[in-house]
Amino acid sequence: RANVLMVAGGFFGDEGKGKTVDAIAVHPAVKIVARVNSGENAGHTVIGPTGIKYAFNLCPSGLLTPGKLNAIGPECVMDP
């Protein structure tokens, strides 16, 4: 049996989705943090464990959480 916790927004823009995902990612039951769609222009601001502020434009917000697998889905826009 698999459990999924999804953070979705009803609007585009700064709704706090990235900060919410980052806060939830530290829970021991969370194994994978994924970004399933969106463009690279979205910015998720995350405060790292040393207090440094990071702005992720494509990476999942749980990237700095140790021991978590981070995935980027096929519907994400990649701009090298």
How many alpha carbons lie under 13 Å from residue 24 in its C-beta half-sphere?
17
Q: What sections of the chain are H helices per DSSP?
A: 17-25
Of 14, 22, 27, 79, the active-site residue reads: 14
Confirm whether 22 is a catalytic residue.
no
Q: Which residues are catalytic?
A: 14, 44
